[in-house]
Structure 1
């Protein structure tokens, strides 16, 4: 019995994962906006973010829920592979082949049977999550709709021995990765961050502060909206204060700016910095850019 034709696969050239170590890369759009659940428990409540011309709507199924920020590690692996191939003058494709071992090792996970099962569950969530966004659309009223993975399957040879997995990435994601201006290198220690909030915060900080000595800042209210978190604002603010106290983000120093009026403000800048942190977790006076979107 012959397998049914798959027009999408027939039009794509298979891109095998490159061997060896490489820098981790992330797409700025995914770092700046709430595309993923920050909770390890299943989230079925949609993410609905709107700010000016930007719309982000993310929905999951009752069975799998919305893809999590830990699931997004697979997309970071994919982006890293594609950029590495591009920079080496090699052809890449939205149709990728790799072994679970290669993906798990890159993102700092174990390679036990349980880790393989978790990887498959992550792939299922990425495939079943539905995204609609105005980002990178010529008209803000027109939304691009896609899933993080169009489809994926396990591969085997003629004797049934496993050969790894194949997955197809959406055009929207692949286009962002191929645009060098939309990709940033991230610290490999990002994968060591265990909390959803701190993972989301690192990506936001890396995107906005970059290597600017003066850094950046957001008020807590805006951060809460930008995170897409279901936590109450009071609980979210407590999480922010705990993160600032621990200083867990690789390559960045955090501080809370307080005033008698107005919300608390999270300030961040790359380290080492010419303006040191003051005792008590606040930066010295300086000109800080403020982002309101």
Structure 2
């Protein structure tokens, strides 16, 4: 049994809904909270939005910043909680999920490596801290507020030492998104996206384009929202590869060039079909 901190005395919510769709919290979709690289990122990262004045400092632990693949745990839990709310079931920040069910529904393998990855993800989710002037309701405060993603994590093994189920306590900051209706449904095909670039682009398209016919964003702004440390030139090259691949569920993506220079200026997103 691996414990990450002392548990809070809360009622236990059992995540046992088979057909629950994954859900994302709006702040974790808007801001580059999660690292999109699978390499450990132990350096603090700061995001600034010069237009709105919003800022966020992401402070990793010694184990690294939580990754966008680690985020699958939160997407799974929010999906379970939202569907339970629709069915009139009581909710709790303390969630128990069967490890096998999580791996299957997030399109992962079920070998020893995948089970160990769950525990590693819990460590990064628990260890990553944020300081921001963004309020729960979306406004800005004069002072920063500090919060985490989960307050507690526990990987429970059976008598043979195999990971059986996981318990987490979602932070109050994120859990508030349920009552404030600050969540959006993800296409389950999201879990089939293998790279961090694909996943980050999908959630930006989902939040900003949604059910609109189209959405455009300048490349410097897009680069900032991705939260990557690579140069703008390398970033353009990576996004260009995604445009050629066209792997983003629900959306078609296009590049818009400056007519005078031919330099990529904007990304245009067009919705394929109406999203539920």
Most deviating of 263-272 and 185-194? 263-272
Q: Does the CA contact (< 8 Å) of 1:219 and 1:263 recur in 2?
A: no
* Matching of residue 30 in structure 1 with residue 28 in structure 2: yes
Return the offset for 1:162: 6.3
Q: In the alignment, what sits opposite 1:96? A: 95
**CA spacing shift, 1:263–1:67, aligned 2, 3 Å:** same
Where do 1:202-217 residues align within 5 Å? Answer: 202-213=202-213, 215-217=214-216
Alpha-carbon distance in 2 for matches of 1:22, 1:90:
14
Query: Any stretches of 5+ residues in structure 2 without a counterpart?
Result: 1-5
TM-score normalized by structure 1? Answer: 0.84
Return the offset for 1:25: 1.2
**CA spacing shift, 1:233–1:85, aligned 2, 3 Å:** same
TM-score normalized by structure 2? Answer: 0.89
Q: Does the CA contact (< 8 Å) of 1:24 and 1:187 recur in 2?
A: yes
Q: In the alignment, what sits opposite 2:150? A: 149
Q: In the alignment, what sits opposite 2:167? A: 166
**CA spacing shift, 1:42–1:159, aligned 2, 3 Å:** closer
Aligned-partner SS, 1:198: helix
Alpha-carbon distance in 1 for matches of 2:175, 2:200:
21
Alpha-carbon distance in 1 for matches of 2:159, 2:231:
53
Q: In the alignment, what sits opposite 2:229? A: 230
Query: Any stretches of 5+ residues in structure 1 without a counterpart?
Result: 1-5, 274-293
**CA spacing shift, 1:93–1:243, aligned 2, 3 Å:** same
Structure of greater Rg: 1
CA RMSD across the alignment: 2.1
Q: In the alignment, what sits opposite 1:269? A: 270
Alpha-carbon distance in 2 for matches of 1:97, 1:39:
28
Deviations 1:141-160 (A, max 9, x none): 22231221111113368998
Alpha-carbon distance in 2 for matches of 1:249, 1:96:
30
Alpha-carbon distance in 1 for matches of 2:225, 2:163:
41
> More strand per residue: 1 or 2?
2
Aligned-partner SS, 2:150: coil
Alpha-carbon distance in 2 for matches of 1:31, 1:155:
29
Where do 1:62-211 residues align within 5 Å? Answer: 62=62, 64-136=63-135, 140-155=141-156, 163-180=164-181, 182-211=182-211
